[in-house]
């Protein structure tokens, strides 16, 4: 079974521009942030729901948002503070 999220090259679809949304990562050519897409998905919206509401983005854009978030989490370091 192929994992479509990891197959997406998020760098082709996600950009950061200090002039747009205070430099938050966005889907190229839009003002839709990765954060916003993840929030929609986290609240239970489906890819179909998002595509119907925001018809200027694609399923691949949504996959790129997930892939971008995954990359950030891979590089995240957690420091445990003993109690």
- At 81 the pLDDT is 80
The pLDDT tens digits for 11-54 are 999 999 999 999 999 999 999 999 999 999 999 999 999 999 99
Burial 12-26, CB ≥16 within 10 A → b, else e: ebbeeeeeebeeebb
Whether domain 4-75 has CATH 3.30.420.10: the reply is no
pLDDT-derived band at 1, boundaries 50, 70, 90 = very low
- Domain map (residue ranges) of the chain: 4-75
pLDDT-derived band at 82, boundaries 50, 70, 90 = confident
- pTM of the entire structure? 0.83
């Amino acid at each position: 079974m192929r994992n479509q999220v990891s197959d997406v090259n998020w760098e082709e679809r996600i950009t950061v521009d200090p002039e747009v949304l205070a430099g938050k990562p966005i889907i190229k050519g839009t003002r839709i942030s990765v954060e916003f897409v993840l929030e929609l998905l986290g609240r239970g919206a489906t890819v179909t729901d998002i595509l119907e509401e925001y018809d200027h983005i694609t399923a691949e854009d949504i996959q790129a948002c997930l892939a971008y978030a995954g990359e950030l989490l891979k590089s995240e370091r957690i420091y445990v503070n003993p109690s």
